[in-house]
Structure 1
Amino acid sequence: MNTFSSGNSTLEHAERPDAGRKEAANKERIALFTICSNNYMSAARVLIESVHALHPEIDLFIGLADKKVEWEGLYDVPAKIIEAESIGIPEFHRFAFQYDIMEFNTAIKPFMFEHLLEKHGFDRVFYFDPDILVLKRLDSLIKYLQDGASLLLTPHLHVPAEGDDDPNDFTIMRAGVYNLGFLGVSRCGETLNIIRWWMRRLHRHCINAQALGIFVDQKYMDLVPGFAPHARIVHDHGMNLAYWNLGHVHLQQSGNSWRADDQPLVFFHFSGFDPRHPTTLTKHSKNFRNTQSVPLKSLLAHYAKLLFAAGYGQLPNAFYAYGRFESGTAIPFHVRRMFRETTPDWPGNPFETYEAYLHRAAPIGSCIRKNLVFTNFQHHLWSFFANQRMRLDPDNTEHLRDLTHWYVQKASREQGLDYRLIEPVALRLGNPARPNVTHLAMTNTNRPDVSVVGYLRTTSGVGMVARHTLNGLAHSALRVEGVDVAHGVVSDRSDRTSEKHLKDQVAGRVQIFANINADQLPFVLEKMKPVLQPGYRISMPAWELEEFPKEWLPAFDAVDEVWAQTKWIQRMLVSKIDKPVIHMPVALTLAPPQKLPRAHFGLPDDRFLFYFSFDFLSYIERKNPEGIVEAFRLMRRRNSGVKAALVIKTMNGHFAPEKQSAFIELVADDPDIILIDGVLNREDTLSLIACCDCVVSLHRCEGLGLVVAEAMALGIPVISTDYAATTDLVTPQTGFPVDYRLIDIQPGQYPMGEGQRWADPDLGHAAWLMGRVIKDTESARRKAHCARHFIEMHHGREAIVKRQLQRLTELTLTA
């Protein structure tokens, strides 16, 4: 329920805003504020410092549409920082959830005005967008207010714009007559009535919907001259000059000052300007690109220099507090729109509770197949897209199947959805009612229950997964055997920890092909034909990229079911093959490693140690150790005096000698980076990890993320790219997810990578997290404790074997 005042201020009865102006001018209190999220603090700093240099007498504020973060010097500005959550916006979490970052920044504007006028008692208040530079004193604007204006507005255009180029008369009428990058107000009843009306509107309707006559906070101001007789329109060409009106004035420069026609340039609005491309005025228009006049070119260069000096580009985008659910899942446009349109009165905090609602069954949709459930979020997307709504009826089972397959296969790439919003639907889809269980009907009690086939003697990750699977099931009541695969293996094969279970025959009624990839599965099956008995065959494939290679899909014709080790793999396969695709995590229970001293591995005792390990056979481009090195060095530069080192364990470099040499050269002269190369036995590997203080994985893609999982199981804090399979494990509660952007895989970087994407982790964010783990040991300890508990509860041997037995029981009962 909204709780806004209708405007019963004691100032309501003041006929004009200049009442009482006979008081001495020096008693007048003036405030100026801007609004930004953390990522725009560099621009806000430039604005605030430009105003402070010209008007040291004005009180300055920054309305932070975000939460403060620990970043040295970020808020060291001559202004008071006010977090949006603290200014009394009703139903704040609902308010923040419904808007994207641009909408949210604009929506809090009237609330900041009221806060400064009413709570702080300022007589005049100015708002400036953070991407404005003030070049001259604002005396004329102050005088307009002192002379009786209630509000000051600057129009986008001072003359008609009748051409076809954008902006023109038509585009400006859609966006709003006045530019709300600037607004000045006097404290009076007329103003407060406008502000409170504006607050009521923006509490629910600060959206970019120009077709509906709404453009965030701005379009509403078209009505204000009709509501406020004392509102004044500022026609000065030197006020709020920007790309939308620059073409109508003659810009001149004299020394360090500029003029617009014959008027001083008081403030310039750099809307859409990127200082990395200073020859382009704005991203919003094709005008003024690479053809600027000398005065404009000089002004852009001057502003770009100020932005870089203020720290432009240094702060990670991940710092936006209202961009994700509590779980870490990114909140897309469609979810915010769904919230506004269908559940605006949601009880409680939607950042905590709304994600689960997305995955609940909608009131429509066929119920014939239990693995096809039309969720609330799918329903919203279907309603939003007319082409789906007109062609497909979710009450029709076949149509619902098509809608579900689109959602699982294409919605993420087409609509920018976090894969974590896709996975619950994929998990359900992968478990059809009636698998083919012909072989399980056999009752020959002389055969073992399960054969686990895999690279059981291979020391690399593919071998570890197979051994975890075999050893876990071997602790159950089932008769379980293992069969080692040597075909095509070039890695070290010295592991003998599963030797007691190994047999020469694949005799199990259920045959699990553990971590034998789909490209190798046909060859393994062919090679094993002489020892392969009939059975219910389960493939446990590994794959890292977001799309499974279609060339490999026919390999699954030879199996009855797929067990996906991660939700990442399950999602990519479930709609590609007509077989059950069950999410079945790998058991990750680890025997406590021997506590070896750091000196055993040649490691220093007086350093905080970060750790990463990788196999050159797994492709250095995907594992991205160079990114970890760069992030570590950046952390070191930002945290002078911190005693830290980076330990990188490698193996199989002789299979990629050029890449190994290049990597060694990258770190050779750095005394704080320690390389350990070669094959270690299992116990030594875990002991090495346990010697370190934090594991860092800035991978571009992962199908499992074994080093991350092992660190969590050992209670070691983890910093990990927030992408691909490791999102099953690392959340804001269990570790430190690193922000990223998606980039195209370049030719030759990875097999079957053509046309695919992977993550480019934000190294600045990773460096900040590395520094935070060192400084905030209590937070790191708490997350590591949660991670260890999470692994034991959801990936421990007991939990996983229980899931495996439950699935095998389902198959047996069906048979």
Structure 2
Amino acid sequence: MSKQIVCTTITKSHLAYARTLAETLLEYNPDAELYVLLADRLDDAFDPEIEPFKLIQLEALPDQNLIERMKFYYTPFEFCCALRGLLHQYVFETLNAERWIFLDSDVMVCHSLDAIFDQLSDVSILLSPHAETPVEIEYAAHEACFLNAGMYNGGFLGLRRTEETYRFINWWKERLIHYGFSDLSIADPRGLFVDQLWLNFVPLYFRDFKLLLHPGTNIGHWNFYDRQFEYDGNGSIQVNQQPLLFIHFSGWNLSNPYQISKYSLLPYEEQIDSPWGKMATQYREKLLKNGYEVTSQLPYAFGTFQDGSSIDWISRRGYYDELKRGITGEDSPFDRAAYFQSQSYWIDSIPLLTEKLHQANQTIHQLHAQVEQIQTSLQETIAQQQLTIEQQQQTIEQQQQTIEQQQLTIEQQQQQICEKDGMLDQIHLRLQAIENSKFWQFRNLWWKLRRSLGQTDTLAQ
């Protein structure tokens, strides 16, 4: 039996996601192999030999001159998406795979994927639609997002080794090399959205395709509204009475695991004890176990010039526009920080400046949120300290009252002792007076006389 091939793309910062994808894939599909294309430079950040996946480095791909340019004019997100055509070409030509699927790295596999590979037995291209049922009119903005971002989700793609597939790969690859930008991110009216929007053409240009309509596949904020989750008799999660195959955690955040996605326009509210809460908690635990806190901080190799200064969107788009006009430059763009930082790119940069303003506003909002959190934390700390001080003051007051009571008791006891000392003094004085009296002296002589006569015992009897 041939291996089931699954592939994905990541930067180093998403290493924990790739590990988790590989871990969950192999848990339910022991005959599968995950191939990870690193849209980054390794820089000895990890050892590929001990990872649960097979690493493909950029140097293994064709068209190295184009890739060198793509490193600069694409952002990390765009670069990861733009390389997908080249990745599928590599799987087709180098791995000679018969059937394979692409999964985004932020996917958690929950079941055998045989049902998906079986669908690829008689079709060239398998697409995953964002939605299968309409929403109510008040939520139509959710559907409008698909008009901008694409009818099909690029986080899944299934392919079979056919001539139709090879034509598709070459067509898609060329468009992603040159037009794989995320224009939506910077309000560019051209309206490109990385690899995903181009998939809208597949039903028109390539007729040998099929839609992946299994309700347990590619669960994300785009289709969560028409998925019913429940547990079967074995405690496994079912989706619309079908097994849950894989979840796509697009726009999901570890710090708020019960929020479906930051991108969602629908009012999802999930609780910790819901099936989503269970899945999100498991995913979070796996990411942390796979080194998320360390790997998420790994730097992107193509994010700075050689002098260490950051490459902004304006420089990236400016370089691309120069290439389109035939201006290439003799040196690598990574060596030309001063040049790009001195250019205005005014006409082409208006949407980019809008994005910069948007990013600045986001930063301001984040800073405001941090200030509010700090203020709230300080208020809580001050309130707690005030409560502690009040409790300590109450304790001190109680102790003072106890001391005062003890002092009063001591004074009373001292007074009683003085009174008793006075009484004893009076008794001593009386006894002394008695002893000094003539009667007492006569009595003592009388007793001495009696003892001398031996009458004491008789008297005692």
Say which of 104, 109, 132 aligns to 1:129. 104
Give the direction of change, closer, same or farther, for the CA distance of 1:163–1:314 in structure 2 (3 Å limit). Answer: farther
Equivalent in the alignment of 1:322:
302
Q: Deviations over 1:297-320 (max 9, x none)?
A: 111111111111111122254521
Q: Deviations over 1:776-798 (max 9, x none)?
A: xxxxxxxxxxxxxxxxxxxxxxx
Say which of 316, 329, 338 aligns to 1:356. 338
Give the direction of change, closer, same or farther, for the CA distance of 1:381–1:317 in structure 2 (3 Å limit). Answer: farther
* Residue 120 of structure 1: how far off its partner (Å): 1.8
Give the 3-state SS of the residue equivalent to 1:185 in structure 2: strand
Give the direction of change, closer, same or farther, for the CA distance of 1:126–1:270 in structure 2 (3 Å limit). Answer: same
Higher relative contact order (CA 8 A, sep 6+): 2
Give the 3-state SS of the residue equivalent to 1:195 in structure 2: helix
1:384 maps to 2:349: yes
Residues 142, 266 of structure 2: 8 Å contact kept: no
1:140 maps to 2:115: yes
For the residues of structure 1 that align with 2:356 and 2:126, how far apart are their CA atoms? 44
Residues 93, 349 of structure 1: 8 Å contact kept: no
* Residue 56 of structure 1: how far off its partner (Å): 2.2
For the residues of structure 2 that align with 1:34 and 1:358, how far apart are their CA atoms? 32
- Mapping of residues 721-760 of structure 1, within 5 Å: none
Equivalent in the alignment of 1:56:
30
For the residues of structure 2 that align with 1:222 and 1:412, how far apart are their CA atoms? 26
**Across the two proteins, how many residue pairs are aligned to each other?**
359
- Mapping of residues 76-155 of structure 1, within 5 Å: 76-91=50-65, 92-146=67-121, 148-155=122-129
The CA RMSD measured in Å over matched residues stands at: 3.0
Say which of 219, 223, 242 aligns to 1:245. 223
* Residue 180 of structure 1: how far off its partner (Å): 0.8
Give the 3-state SS of the residue equivalent to 1:112 in structure 2: helix
Give the 3-state SS of the residue equivalent to 1:229 in structure 2: coil
Equivalent in the alignment of 1:274:
253
For the residues of structure 2 that align with 1:183 and 1:262, how far apart are their CA atoms? 24
Residues 49, 77 of structure 1: 8 Å contact kept: no
Give the direction of change, closer, same or farther, for the CA distance of 1:416–1:231 in structure 2 (3 Å limit). Answer: closer
For the residues of structure 1 that align with 2:4 and 2:332, how far apart are their CA atoms? 37
Structure with bigger helix share is 2
Say which of 234, 237, 240 aligns to 1:261. 240
1:208 maps to 2:182: yes
Residues 98, 340 of structure 1: 8 Å contact kept: yes
Q: TM-score if structure 2 supplies the norm length? A: 0.71
1:228 maps to 2:206: yes
Bigger Rg, structure 1 or 2: 2
Equivalent in the alignment of 1:308:
288
Q: Quick one: which amino acid aligns to residue 252 of structure 1? A: E
For the residues of structure 2 that align with 1:46 and 1:386, how far apart are their CA atoms? 36
- Mapping of residues 410-559 of structure 1, within 5 Å: 414=357
Q: Quick one: which amino acid aligns to residue 335 of structure 2? A: T
Equivalent in the alignment of 1:296:
276
Q: Deviations over 1:204-263 (max 9, x none)?
A: 110112543421000111111122221111111111111111111211134552111111
* Residue 102 of structure 1: how far off its partner (Å): 0.7
Q: Deviations over 1:51-86 (max 9, x none)?
A: 112222223211111111334568732211112243
For the residues of structure 2 that align with 1:188 and 1:413, how far apart are their CA atoms? 44
Q: Deviations over 1:271-301 (max 9, x none)?
A: 0111221121211125465544711111111
Say which of 38, 41, 48 aligns to 1:67. 41
For the residues of structure 2 that align with 1:93 and 1:242, how far apart are their CA atoms? 33
Say which of 150, 168, 193 aligns to 1:194. 168
Give the direction of change, closer, same or farther, for the CA distance of 1:316–1:177 in structure 2 (3 Å limit). Answer: closer
Q: Deviations over 1:15-36 (max 9, x none)?
A: xxxxxxxxxxx2x453111111
Residues 3, 31 of structure 2: 8 Å contact kept: no
* Residue 412 of structure 1: how far off its partner (Å): 12
* Residue 131 of structure 1: how far off its partner (Å): 0.6
Residues 20, 286 of structure 2: 8 Å contact kept: yes
Q: TM-score if structure 1 supplies the norm length? A: 0.41
Q: Deviations over 1:304-360 (max 9, x none)?
A: 11111111122254521111111111111111111122334524553433323225x
Residues 153, 184 of structure 1: 8 Å contact kept: yes
For the residues of structure 2 that align with 1:66 and 1:386, how far apart are their CA atoms? 27
Q: Quick one: which amino acid aligns to residue 161 of structure 2? A: R
Q: Deviations over 1:537-575 (max 9, x none)?
A: xxxxxxxxxxxxxxxxxxxxxxxxxxxxxxxxxxxxxxx
Equivalent in the alignment of 2:432:
none
Give the 3-state SS of the residue equivalent to 1:47 in structure 2: helix
Q: Deviations over 1:469-509 (max 9, x none)?
A: xxxxxxxxxxxxxxxxxxxxxxxxxxxxxxxxxxxxxxxxx
For the residues of structure 2 that align with 1:313 and 1:234, how far apart are their CA atoms? 34
For the residues of structure 1 that align with 2:369 and 2:225, how far apart are their CA atoms? 38
- Mapping of residues 7-26 of structure 1, within 5 Å: 26=1
For the residues of structure 1 that align with 2:247 and 2:289, how far apart are their CA atoms? 19
Equivalent in the alignment of 2:312:
332
Residues 100, 117 of structure 2: 8 Å contact kept: no
* Residue 167 of structure 1: how far off its partner (Å): 5.8
Residues 279, 289 of structure 1: 8 Å contact kept: no
Residues 130, 223 of structure 2: 8 Å contact kept: yes
For the residues of structure 1 that align with 2:118 and 2:277, how far apart are their CA atoms? 32
Give the 3-state SS of the residue equivalent to 1:156 in structure 2: coil
Q: Quick one: which amino acid aligns to residue 46 of structure 1? A: T
